[in-house]
């Protein structure tokens, strides 16, 4: 099956008349997985825009300190079968769900994520951050962190404000658990060739955390997958380009799935 690369540029948010079904035959169960220091607000735009067509669930990934337990908790709460969307850390959990229960997933969408394990250098950086937090005060999303997370055009304004607000709601204790989970996650590159559901990979052209090369690696190994690269976007596509993210999800949900 052919693989396609699409460079998203100027998608407009669909109008209500074109995007909403007046009488949907059924609601598509869809599970959203947030990223590090993110809560339900990460997917607020997408859930609202797709509400007439989907039955959404947003998993709580703040309670566990390893990716496997995050996946198991999500599976325990999820419907029997569902489409699965994960961003960043949520993508790591999504891949673990594919490892544990591929028969339950109808479609897979990975935003700003990677199948690789953390490098020793990145693990050392995370340990340093954890030790600093344990000695002091949780600062949430700082300006320095924002510079790594989002495109320069979003370092100030509503995206930055939402990032800071989510981080404060998640809090320092959950941040420590999430960091432990991320740096101990397994390498999932060997899993990719076994994925047999319609798969969409999305990355920002300016993503510094999980750069386009990581998305391309997933795309190359998942047969039939589609890769979208969003222009002027960093690591937080769902917040930085909510309209484009929703449009891509709508197209993905329209693909045939078992």
Give the residues of the chain that fall short of pLDDT 50: 1-4, 7-24
Burial class, 25, CB count within 10 angstroms (exposed 0-12 / middle 13-18 / buried 19+): exposed
Q: Which residues of 117-152 are buried (b: 16+ CB within 10 A; e: fewer)?
A: bbeeeeeeebeeeeeebeeeeeebbeeebbeebbbe
CA 146/CA 38 separation, integer angstroms: 13
Q: Residues 42-61: pLDDT tens digits?
A: 999 999 999 999 999 999 99
User: What does the pLDDT read at residue 19?
Assistant: 34
Residue spans of alpha helices (H) in 3-66: 16-19, 44-50
Partners of 32 in beta bridges? 58, 85
CA 234/CA 220 separation, integer angstroms: 21
User: What does the pLDDT read at residue 146?
Assistant: 92
Residue 165, H or E segment: helix 158-183
What's the Rg (C-alpha) of the chain? 17
């Amino acid at each position: 099956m052919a693989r396609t690369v699409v460079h998203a540029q100027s998608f407009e948010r669909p109008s209500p008349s074109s995007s909403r079904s007046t009488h949907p035959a059924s609601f598509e169960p869809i599970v959203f997985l947030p990223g590090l220091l993110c809560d339900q607000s990460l997917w607020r735009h997408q859930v609202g825009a797709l509400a007439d067509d989907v039955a959404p669930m947003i998993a709580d990934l703040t309670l566990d300190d390893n990716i496997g337990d995050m996946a198991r908790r999500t599976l325990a709460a999820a419907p029997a079968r569902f489409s699965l969307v994960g961003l960043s850390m949520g993508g790591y959990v999504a891949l673990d769900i594919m490892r544990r229960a591929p028969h339950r997933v109808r479609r897979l969408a990975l935003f700003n994520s990677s199948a690789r394990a953390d490098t020793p250098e990145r693990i050392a950086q995370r340990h340093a951050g954890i030790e600093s937090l344990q000695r002091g005060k949780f600062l949430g999303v700082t300006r320095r962190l924002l510079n790594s997370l989002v495109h320069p055009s979003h370092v100030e304004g509503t995206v930055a404000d939402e990032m800071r607000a989510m981080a404060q709601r998640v809090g320092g204790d959950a941040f420590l658990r999430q960091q432990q989970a991320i740096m101990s996650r397994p390498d999932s590159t060997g899993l990719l060739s076994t994925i047999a559901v319609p798969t969409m990979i999305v990355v920002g052209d300016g993503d510094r955390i999980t750069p386009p090369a990581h998305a391309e690696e997933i795309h190359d190994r998942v047969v039939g997958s589609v890769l979208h690269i969003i222009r002027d976007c960093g690591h937080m596509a769902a917040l930085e380009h909510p309209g484009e993210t929703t449009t891509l999800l709508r197209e993905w949900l329209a693909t045939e799935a078992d």
